[in-house]
Structure 1
Amino acid sequence: MTTLSTTVHNPLVRALHGTGLLAEDLDYHAVRASMVIMFFFFGYQKWFPYEFERLVPFISNGPLIWWLYPVFGHAGASYFLGVSEWTFGSLLLAGFWDKRIGILGALGSTGTFIATVTIIPFMPEGWDVAAGGFPAMTGNLPFLMKDVVLLAVSFYLLRQDAIRLVRR
């Protein structure tokens, strides 16, 4: 098995090591920071009328979030999502220091992206029939596909925080 210490003689590995790119947990911290940034920016959008209307096809076709409109109305549903995103982003941010809080943020994040990924099969006109249907995406569906990756990232953070908490 090759380890970092045995590959330091490789000039590329040596150069990467010198940049700090191979620092332990760099990827974990970068993923956490990117999720915090993403939740804060996406949460910010939810406070504006243009976003209320932009969310209609997503919420209306979401098997896990359809209830937001009957309960809160269009603006209220958007505000609810914005507060949720800021809450999960804040919990993920606090997870840099406290893994128990990080686990709560990762659980919320995982739930968020389970809810959005489940919209994919129900999005009207999501597959371009003229181009042969699946996998030719159209309309709002390509926007939702990023949530498949964000779900995986959320699960990664949940797992990493749980492992780090158990090891303490």
Structure 2
Amino acid sequence: MAKTIVIFEQDQDVKDIMEYVLKDSGYEVAITNSNVSDINISKCKPDLVPLVSNSPLISWTFKVFGIYHGSDLIGLTEQMAALLIIIGQFKPQTGIVGASIATAMFFITSTLLISTPSTLTINHIGSFNYLSLLGLFLFKDIISLGASINLVGKFGEKANSAFQNRK
């Protein structure tokens, strides 16, 4: 049984892209030109709903906080990690915290490749094979996971060096 996603969007190009990505992932899509501001799904990123809903690790955020506040919580976590990483250039202990948050966040979002239907589907165009668009969208999180793990190590070295210099 397919899940239906409702898209509230004025821009036709955005509608076409979202419809293609969601249908490629096995969802039925209903598109409306109505600008209904009191429906929560219109206020959050449409690509976040099917991803988070299928995740056993973070689907609780939408159940507990609702779609609007749940997506805000995810976005706030990303912004907090980025801010702590920037501050980490001057205070490495803070950078370790920020990079650790980013590592946890990117680990969780990397698991969406497994939990979301059709993300690992191989599409064929001529003689080329590639992941579905949703799979490619999530693949960047694997690269970001590696980068954030590297940042934890770099900030750790910097903090250790600063600690050694104090002695």
Do both proteins adopt the same fold according to a TM-score greater than 0.5, normalized to the shorter chain?
yes
State percent identity of aligned pairs: 28
What are the equivalent positions in structure 2 for 1:40-55 lying under 5 Å apart? 49=42, 51-55=44-48
The answer (yes or no) to whether the contact 1:60–1:66 under 8 Å persists in 2 is yes
User: How many residues align structurally?
Assistant: 119
Partner of 1:14: none
Runs of 4+ in 1 over 4 A off after TM superposition: none
Q: Aligned ranges for residues 11-160 of structure 1 at < 5 Å?
A: 49=42, 51-128=44-121, 131=124, 136-160=130-154
Q: 1:52, 1:74 within 8 Å by CA — same for their partners in 2?
A: no
State how far apart, in whole Å, the 2-side matches of 1:56 and 1:89 are: 23
Unpaired stretches in structure 1, ≥5 consecutive residues: 1-47
More strand by share: 2
Q: Deviations over 1:100-144 (max 9, x none)?
A: 10001000000110010011112211233664xxx7411411100
Task: Tell me the C-alpha RMSD between the 2 structures.
Answer: 2.1
How much has 1:50 moved relative to structure 2? 5.4
CA deviation after TM superposition for structure 1 residue 83, in Å: 1.1
> When you count helix as a share of all residues, which structure comes out higher?
1
Q: Please tell me whether the aligned partners of residues 126 and 137 of structure 1 are also in contact (alpha carbons under 8 angstroms).
A: yes
Q: Distance in 2 between matches of 1:130 and 1:145?
A: 15
- Structure 1 CA distance for aligned equivalents of residues 119 and 159 of structure 2: 41
**Aligned residues of 1:52 and 1:75 also touching (Cα < 8 A):** no
Deviation at 1:157, TM superposition (A): 0.4
